[in-house]
Each structure stands twice: as structure tokens, then as C-alpha cells.
Amino acid sequence: MQMSQIIDTDSEKLVEITETDSEKISDLTETDSEKINETKETDSEKTIEIKTNSDQIVEVTTEKTTEKTTEKTTEKTTEKDTEFKEDYESELEFEFINFEDKKSKLNEFQLFSLEEIHELRRDNPFLKHGYRNNYSFWKCTRSIFKLHNETLNIWTTFIPIFIVFGLIIYVYTKDKIKKSTAMDKWIFATYPFGALSCFIASTVYHIYECHSNKILSLFLKFDLLGIVLLIVCSFIPLLYFALYQFTNYRNLYLIIISVFGSFMLIVIFFFNGFLETRKKTSALLFSIMGLIGVAPLIHSYWLVPKSFFIEFCIRLVIMGSLYLIGVAFYTLKFPERWSKKGRFNIFGSSHQIWHICVSSAALEHFFTCLFCYEYYLDNYAN
């Protein structure tokens, strides 16, 4: 009985121990499984976190790459935009410069009204517009090919320069003239010299008179000097060849005209108030110089053959008529005086008509001098 009781108690204890152990084992297994589950969960969470981190990294990298690509594209687009803008601005600037150049070229030879120029240049109140003003020397030179109220004044004395040179070549290549003495040739050459001086001085004056008042005053004096030389040199060949036999009369008239011409030069260059009163003074003095020639003309009626005298007078009448017609137009300011619309501002003014008449008269007188030269060679030359 005691043994059975002991065995029962031991078995009960064993059962209890096993139960407790099983409970412990189950607890352990449960805890372990829980731990494992927890670790799994934590691992899964970690993996999820890693995934999220990787996603974030991917997102960051994608953002960075997109930012870089957008930056590159924006840089490229901005570069293209700036290049396009620069090209466009340069094109606009080029077009603007071209426009300004065209505008400046159009305005380069701007013409002015009578009220806009200096009063020293207002010698014709009936020409209201077409004046150049304050041009440079180079601009004045180029303006001879432009239209203004001095264009014809320039060309009506510029072209005769070449005509006179052509006539000189024509005369000195003639057989009769070639055989004459050097003195005779020099005497005849005085008139072409006077004509060229007049034409050149007038051309230069009308080209550069718009530069400044100083240049205007200087070149006007040379213009008047050219007129004096033309008048004085007009008498020298006529008196020398026509009155060759009458030395005393010839020398007397040559001295008179030379003295009066010298007096004119002194007045032009040294009389301070001459430029202000040049119209009245020059008209008076030039008229006196012209009238001096009447005395030897009348006197020659009793000295030279009548046939020569008649033809000589006809030539002088033609020349004198051309001068008088020109002076009449110039003095009356016709036709611009009767035009209220400025029709003659550029073409057909009185000064231009006067130039044409003076140039024609000067060329006519060239042949009158040649006529006297040949008369002398036929009758008095050895």
C-alpha cells in the first residue's frame, strides 16, 4: 500500500511536471513564435521601410534627374531664347541702322528756306527755298550732283571751262597760228586766261558759298576778281591786234584799262564795306569798265579798214547784246519776281539766265579775238 501510494504520488508529480513543462514549452513556443512573428513583422516593416526608403531614394533620384533634365532643357531653351533674342535684336538694330543711314542720307543734302540762311546770302528775296546751308567742303563738292538753287549756277560756268580748253587746242593747232611768234601767241592767250579765271572762280564760289560766311566772303572776292580779269583780258587782244600799227593809241588804251582793273582789285580786296554794298558797287564799276571800251571802238572807225570795222562791230554787238540781256534778267530778278509759287527756285532763275548769257558772250568774244588775231597775221605779221 505504501508503495502504491508512493508511485501514485510520483506519477502525479510527474504528470504535474510534464504538464508544467508542456505548459512552459508551449509558452516558450508561443513566445518564440510570437518573437519570430514579431521579428518577421519587424523585418517586414524594415523591408517595407527599406522599400519606402528605396522608393524615396528613387523618387529623389528621379526628382534630381528630372530637375537636371529640366535645368538642362531650360538652359538650352534659355540659351536658344537668348540667341534668338540677340539675333532678333541685332537684326532690329541692323534694320534700324539701315533706316537711320537711309534717313541720314536723305537728310544729308537737306535744303533750307530763305529765312533759315544768313542774311549775307539773301541776295534774291524771290527765291524762297532750295538753299544749302553750312555744308562741309566735301559735302559742298558732292552737292554739285544734287538739285538745289545753285546747281545750274555751277554747271553753267563749269561746262564752259572745258569748252575754252577745247577752243585753245583748236586755235593753237591751226597752221596760221603755228607760224606766228611767241609774243603774238601770248597776247592772244590773255583772253582765254581771263575767261578761264572767270569761269573757275565763279564755279568755285557757287559750289562753296554755302560752307560759311567766311568762305562766302573769300570766294566772292575771287569771283569778282575773275570778272575783272575777264573784262581786262577782253580788251588786250583786240587793242593789240586791231591797232597794231597805231602803237601810241594802243598803249594808251591798254594802260587805261589796266589801271582801272587794278583799281577794281583794290576795291574788292581792301574796301571793308564792299561786300555789304557789292551789288550797287560792282554793278557801277563793271559798267564803267565796259563803257571804257566804247572810246577805242569809236576811235578805230578812223584807223582800220571799213570792212574789218563793220564785221568787228557786228561781233561786238552780238557779245554786248548777250551781256545786256543777262544783266537785264539779273537786275529785274525775272522771272522769279512774278512767280508766287516758287516755280523758279531750282530751275530758270534770273541768275542762271545771266550765267548762260555771260558764258555765251564770253565764248563769242573768243572768236572775236581770233578774228582780230587772224586779221593781224594777214596784214601786219612778217
Instruction: Give the integer Cα–Cα distance in Å for 317 and 110.
Output: 43
Judged by phi (left if over 0) then psi (alpha if -120 to 50, else beta), residue 342 lies in: left
Instruction: Give the integer Cα–Cα distance in Å for 336 and 326.
Output: 14
Q: For residue 204, give the H/E element and its range.
A: helix 182-208
Instruction: Give the integer Cα–Cα distance in Å for 296 and 314.
Output: 16
Instruction: Scan for cell 571793308, then name that residue.
Output: 272
Could you tell me the three cell numbers for 271? Answer: 574796301
| Pairing status of strand 112-113 against strand 129-131 | antiparallel
- Is 206 labelled as part of a ligand binding site? yes
Which whole-number Å values give the CA distances from 83 to 76, 79, 86, 93, in the listed order? 10, 6, 5, 15
Closest CA to 369 of 250, 181, 231, 191: 191
- Is 148 labelled as part of a ligand binding site? no
Q: How many CA atoms lie within 13 A of 311 on its CB side?
A: 12
Instruction: Give the integer Cα–Cα distance in Å for 344 and 149.
Output: 9
**Is 178 buried (19+), middle (13-18) or exposed (0-12) by CB count in 10 A?**
exposed
Closest CA to 167 of 370, 320, 373: 370
The DSSP secondary-structure symbol of 117 reads: S
Q: Which amino acid is at 149?
A: N
Pick out the residues of the known binding site for Zn(2+).
206, 351, 355
Pick out the residues of the known binding site.
206, 351, 355
